[in-house]
Homo-oligomer: A and B are copies of this chain.
């Protein structure tokens, strides 16, 4: 055959005219990235900012403080939302979708909080909302969950999804920094949310797990529906113990099928062994492991925080809009979507400055018991529902860290729990 006849041509792609909300680190990053990719044929027409008086690196005429100047501009067909304030972001995204404009956002909090409504708004107005940058910044996880793991074989998604806390943990463990100094460094490098509590108390990771749950398993769940915490409670004695046992402590988000119709989901600190892939994920890097019956384990690693990695994901979404890409939410729209369960057991380590703070009666099984002045700890099995319903493990001076492979499904623990406590000499 002659290859010159009928040579394929590139499908005509949409010319994109962007309206950008926010010009913080990611917004500026996107501006730089766009200027390095002329082939993309996307240009920023106007940038809406909150503070008109702030000095900017580009001329003043690019900016406005009036959102409507972007939303009502017919020539703008894509709104890129990169502001911090989740409520303001929600109003912008909603208004843009209602006007039929495509939207790219990296606001995990806003997306996790309004997931179902945003999905319906896309459907009603026929406009796409893409948010690859909202989950693990530059790692293309949402698109892979949507496109590649598009079947019922996926059994788990877990990993390190918050760059700021991972940076802090790395600096504490590897460089011996104090929590405070490590946090300060993360903030200076632009890895931390402007409100650091979002990172260090686990809210940001929980928002990302919420987004992962929807795309991995079709289950829409707000962070309040599952178990999560951050890294603020991790004590020096915990870090010392981990080092002594050649373990690292990582904040790990997990969504794991426990049977055909139920998922366990949680974000908790976890001990990881040195040879575990997650142990090698340092600083602001994020990583995800997918597990499926036949493909087995896949490991994805990339920068999970910072202006450019997030901007790169936003850019990739913008590029996809040229070809009218949108998430199809197939798993959510399928029947028999698995439910979140809180009837599974977790094998945990709990340490406390005062032994009385550990509510040992809640354990179904206690495997180890260490009682030393100012350094008391227990390794045992506990029902997840009891952790979700009670706050004793969130008291100051108490830290909870998951063990390796923490999900225990053996329901016999229900019966033998008391007996184990007797055996342990605890009751």
Interface residues of A (CB under 8 A from B): 1, 3, 6-11, 29, 33, 36-37, 39-40, 116-117, 119-121, 123-124, 132, 138-140, 143-144, 147-153, 277, 280, 292-303, 308-309, 311-313, 315-316, 319-320, 323, 325, 328-330, 333-334
Contacts and interface: CB of A to CB of B under 8 A. Distances in A.
Highest count of chain B CB atoms <10 Å: which of A37, A315, A316: A316
B36 A120 contact: no
Highest count of chain B CB atoms <10 Å: which of A3, A295, A303: A295
B296 A308 contact: yes
A152 B299 CA distance: 25
25 contacts: A1-B117, A3-B116, A6-B120, A6-B123, A10-B328, A33-B293, A37-B152, A37-B153, A40-B152, A138-B294, A139-B298, A140-B148, A143-B147, A143-B148, A144-B144, A147-B320, A150-B320, A151-B319, A153-B312, A294-B311, A296-B303, A296-B312, A297-B303, A299-B302, A300-B300
Contacts of A300: 298-300
A153 B36 contact: yes
B3 A117 contact: yes
Highest count of chain B CB atoms <10 Å: which of A149, A294, A311, A312: A294
Given A29-B294, A308-B296, A334-B10, A151 B316 contact: yes
Given A297-B302, A298-B301, A328 B334 contact: no
Contact of A316 (B9, B148, B152, B313): B148
Highest count of chain B CB atoms <10 Å: which of A1, A148, A300, A319: A148
Contact of A319 (B33, B150, B301, B334): B150
A151 B328 CA distance: 23
A306 B312 CA distance: 34
Contacts of A312: 153, 292, 294-296
Nearest to A144: B140
Given A36-B293, A140-B147, A151-B316, 7 more contacts: A8-B119, A8-B123, A8-B329, A10-B330, A10-B334, A277-B280, A298-B300
A242 B328 CA distance: 49
Nearest to A314: B294
Task: Return the 3 tightest CB-CB contacts between A and B, nearest first.
Answer: A295-B312, A8-B123, A138-B295
Contacts of A132: 148
Nearest to A306: B296
Nearest to A300: B300
Contacts of A296: 138, 302-303, 308-309, 312
Contacts of A320: 147, 150
Contacts of A144: 140, 143-144
A112 to B, nearest CB: 16
A39 B331 CA distance: 11
Given A1-B117, A117-B3, A280-B280, A334 B295 contact: no
Contacts of A138: 294-296, 298
A33 B294 contact: yes
Contact of A299 (B33, B36, B301, B330): B301
Nearest to A287: B299
A147 to B, nearest CB: 6
